[in-house]
Amino acid sequence: MGVIETYRLRLRRKRYIARAIRKRRELRNVVNRTKDVKKGNILAFSTQRNEKVRLPYFLEYYRDMGVDHFFIVDNDSDDGSVPYLAAQPDVSLWHTKASYKGSRFGVDWLNYLQWKYAHGHWTLVVDPDEFLVYPFCDTRPLPALTDWLDASEIKSFGAMLLDMYPKGRIDAQPYKEGMNPVEIASWFDAGNYTITPNHTYSNLWIQGGPRARKFFPEEPNRAPALNKTPLIKWDRSYVYVSSTHTVLPRGLNKVFDDNGGEKASGVLLHTKFIDTFGLKAKEELERGEHYAGSVEYKAYASGLVEDPDLWCKWSEKYINWRQLEILGLMSKGNWA
Amino acid sequence: MTLGVVMLVHNALHRAEQVARHWAASGCPVVLHVDANVKRKQHDAFVEALSDEPLITFCSRHRCEWGTWGIVAGSQAASEKLLHDFPEVRHVMLASGSCLPLRPVQELVDYLSDNPRTDFIESATTSDVPWTVGGLDEERFTLLFPFSWKKQRWMFDRYVAIQRWFKVKREIPKGIVPHMGSQWWCLTRRTLSAILTDPDRPAYDAYFRKVWIPDESYFQTLCRLWSTDVQSRSLTLSKFDHLGKPHIFYDDHLQLLRRSDCFMARKIWAKADLLYESFLTDAAHAMKKSEPNPGKIDRVFSRASELRIHGRPGLYMQSRFPWGQWNDSVTCAPYTVFEGFADIFQDWEGWLSKHTDARVHGHIFAENWVEFSGRDKTFSGAMYDSPKLRDYNSRAFLTNLIWNTRGERQCFQFGPWDAQYIQWDLATDPNASIYVITGAWSLQHFRSNADFADIRRDAAWRQKIESEHLHALKSPHAKANIRILTMTEFIESPMEHLQTIINDIGGDGAHRLTEAPKMHDLRGFGKFLQTLKNEGMHPYLMGDYPMDDIPQRRSSRPRKPYLIKK
């Protein structure tokens, strides 16, 4: 990789940081409990819009895992999630009415908050419908992982997005506040993922899963990206480029081994496809605030009207991380 | 009282306190060396907290950084103090703040009393040990290392390079032979005080001060001068990964550690409450002993290193994506590709599944669909019948197919009607067995009712595709197990060839074939080829097919005439 290329990426990184700082004006602080954050704490960053019903389980899941503080940007919710979040003792909350698309799907807002508050901390960037699973997560809390990463001098941890879905119509079983959504959306595709290396950012572009086979069988290149690097020992000079798929400096993207070995990695269980999805898709289509002209939502809307079932007879039912490890979706690497 | 403990601590002081008290409670004196990097306030609080225990004392502090002299200096200071203050100590154990005794202290004391003159220290000459962080083994002792490996890596590497360039070779002090080994030892008072009071010590210290990672070689080397009985093994269990970083123990290792036969283990994760709770008890509360099985620990950790270095071949995923020269096999398991067989035999797939244990697919790379076995829309791993999805990344399609069906051999058909993107991956994959009957595709033309001019054009096109494919199979890069026969060769003795193939696939079905698959009616094929030739095309891939058909000897039963009953 040439010097020019490297320099161009450096400029791009600086520009994204500047952009994030500029976008701070769109954020209005609702509750700031950041002085509770202590050295060594693990921080979670998230944007949300009308996800009240999901939030209790989301917070509980990550609190149990060992996340110490949540930084949440609310994008103009009207379902009562703002007062709910404001009342949580470990949440700092910002509110904005600005365009989600205009902030590059929330990335700018979170980049700013991370720039300001996350320097030197392990940070986890997840949506309220994403649940991190990592090796030994049933017996070791998240700090065990981050301590090990520190000891091994690893700065970023990859966790691919795994789309979960229920058996039968996705709206057959209603989701109630506090429920584990994986109990409803407990199925996934085990082995239909494709990987394309991206040499500019030295990351892997992963596609596939139920969305590719159900909504994009005719134009697979438009299927959504599933590679993610949600857990990073943050530094002020880092910046996410597009969602948590890509981060700069690009060394952080290299969460894979290209010599044949396996690095440790996890999975983000993506529980988007439950009964709340129909409503969400409808609303998002009207707002047009999502990626690539909401092409995904359009495809989903039409696909799910015709046949609202993502399940097939080869779908795999989720059991635990060891199952995902055996299937080859994640790896323990040399963490034993 | 026979055992004293030297403990080096630099963080997780509350755990160090717990372990120190545990030793003291069993009557073992402890001298703590606190890293000079620990803040004064923290240090003072730590000393204060332990002030009620007369058996626990502190020595002067040195700055300890990985790979540098400070760790040895700290051990020396603490050992001197221990030997001086507690004259009844006969063995001294070096431990760190993240070491945990796995067996009751009394057992260790008894064990050492039984071996009063034995020094337990791993100590081997450089040529005999495999751990070489940074590619330095013997050079540790012959170069100078004034820069920090962790903080000044660039300078470290440059300085090593310069010294190599100038062929710098430090002189090793007379009388010593460099040895290396685990940092954690247990020495007798005799050996240890001999090392510490050696009149040549200043010279040795000056030398080792500039050796790289002296904590792995100082005592390991010098003990050889004095000890009468070296047991070259550590009483402390510690496992290292491929980069020389110690593996860490967590709560879920409890059962594993209980079955270790070692007295101590490191490193223990500071927040592994269950481990500390379970092991830091007195003999009365100690867990019932279980059968020692130290091999199991070894297996767990060596498997982890193996996974990190070599991974699972044939798996492509988010944290394993080999490419280039490191990727010597494409898929994870053997599979078989058949070309032309389905054109010659009726219900070839059915026959093949009957005679082997393999899963038999149709043309999974067919242009307009994916012919999974049973013609299902989906297949193992939720693979989907979409040629576009498949061709988007046909290599991933193949590797997924083989990975998803581990334990079951896959067979599929391939031919010039299929999407050809995959052909080089097939040819270069050592897991592939490819059986080709060249020219058999023309039987489809032979049976077709289409206009002859179209047939002629299409046949020429298919022949071209197949000949390019054969070019890949015959290239020097091809690593697959490849067997190419012309159609003529094959038809002369089909059963022999089928028998070899069935034997290659193996499985329970590998027996003497008794039933031949039913061949399509080939009468008139020779004439058909001649017609093609007459039309100016040159069908050569079939071999030298005679104009008057080959008598089909092996499938000898005469064909029943087709009777159409009214």
- Verify whether the Cβ–Cβ distance A257 to B327 is below 8 Å: no
Domain CATH code at residue B36: 3.90.550
Does residue B206 lie within any of the structural domains? yes
pLDDT at B140: 82
Does residue B302 lie within any of the structural domains? no
For residue A164, the distance in angstroms to the closest alpha carbon of chain B comes to 13
Does residue B298 lie within any of the structural domains? no
Indicate left, alpha or beta for A260 from its phi (over 0: left) and psi (-120 to 50: alpha). left
Nearest CA in chain A to B322: A258
Q: What residues in B contact A147, CB-CB < 8 Å?
A: 248, 269-271
Does residue A206 lie within any of the structural domains? yes
CA pair distance A169, A310, nearest whole angstrom: 8
pLDDT at B550: 63
> Tens of pLDDT along B16-38?
999 999 999 989 999 999 999 99
pLDDT over threshold 60, residue B399: yes
- Verify whether the Cβ–Cβ distance A227 to B318 is below 8 Å: yes
pLDDT over threshold 50, residue B129: yes
Give the amino acid at B448: S
Among B26, B33, B30, which residue's Cα sits nearest to residue B4? B30
pLDDT at B181: 86
CA pair distance A232, B146, nearest whole angstrom: 32
For residue A312, the distance in angstroms to the closest alpha carbon of chain B comes to 7
Same domain, B278 and B331: no
Q: What residues in B contact A263, CB-CB < 8 Å?
A: 308, 319-320
Nearest CA in chain B to A317: B381
Does residue B45 lie within any of the structural domains? yes
Q: A158 with A252: CB under 8 angstroms? A: no
Give the number of residues written for chain B.
566
Does residue A334 lie within any of the structural domains? no
> Tens of pLDDT along B295-321?
888 899 999 999 999 999 999 999 999
Q: A110 with A47: CB under 8 angstroms? A: yes
Q: What residues in B contact A331, CB-CB < 8 Å?
A: 307, 311, 317, 319-320
pLDDT at B7: 95
Q: What residues in A contact B324, CB-CB < 8 Å?
A: 258
pLDDT grade, residue B556 (50/70/90)? very low
Domain CATH code at residue B507: 3.40.50
> Tens of pLDDT along A190-246?
999 999 999 889 999 999 999 899 888 888 998 999 999 999 999 999 999 988 999
> Tens of pLDDT along B410-430?
999 999 999 999 999 999 999
Same domain, B275 and B418: no
Residue A187 token pair: 């199925």
Buried b (16+ CB within 10 A) or exposed e, A49-85: bbbbbbbebbbebbeebbbbbbbbbbbebeeebbebb
pLDDT grade, residue B546 (50/70/90)? confident
Same domain, B367 and B266: no
Same domain, B420 and B277: no
Does residue B166 lie within any of the structural domains? no
Angle ∠(B547,B551,B552) on CA atoms, nearest 5: 125
Same domain, B475 and B529: yes
Which residues of chain A fall below pLDDT 50? none
| Sign of CA pseudo-dihedral B238, B240, B244, B246 | negative
Helix (H) or strand (E) segment spanning residue B315: none
- Verify whether the Cβ–Cβ distance B382 to A316 is below 8 Å: yes
Q: What residues in A contact B307, CB-CB < 8 Å?
A: 261-262, 331-334
Does residue A336 lie within any of the structural domains? no
CA pair distance B433, B332, nearest whole angstrom: 13
Predicted structure pTM score: 0.90
Same domain, B112 and B219: yes
Number of domains, chain B: 2
Domain CATH code at residue A108: 3.90.550
- Verify whether the Cβ–Cβ distance B382 to A227 is below 8 Å: no
Does residue B137 lie within any of the structural domains? no
Angle ∠(B270,B276,B279) on CA atoms, nearest 5: 145
Q: Whole domain around residue A55: which residue ranges?
A: 3-327
CA pair distance B470, B301, nearest whole angstrom: 46
Does residue B199 lie within any of the structural domains? yes
Give the mean model confidence (pLDDT) for residues B45-69. Answer: 91
Does residue B155 lie within any of the structural domains? no
CA pair distance B108, B101, nearest whole angstrom: 9
Average pLDDT, rounded, for chain B? 88
Number of domains, chain A: 1
Does residue A333 lie within any of the structural domains? no
Q: A122 with A233: CB under 8 angstroms? A: yes
pLDDT over threshold 80, residue B138: no
Q: Enter the ipTM.
A: 0.93
B242: three-class secondary structure by DSSP: coil
Q: Whole domain around residue B423: which residue ranges?
A: 324-534
CA pair distance A271, A53, nearest whole angstrom: 13
Same domain, B478 and B405: yes
Does residue A332 lie within any of the structural domains? no
Residue B400 token pair: 């997924």
| Domain closes at, from B292, B315, B339 | B292
Number of CB pairs < 8 Å for A and B? 181
**Residue B182 contacts by C-beta under 8 Å, 6 or more apart in sequence?**
B121, B122, B216, B234, B236, B238
Same domain, B333 and B479: yes
Same domain, B264 and B368: no
Same domain, B362 and B443: yes
CA pair distance B368, B386, nearest whole angstrom: 8
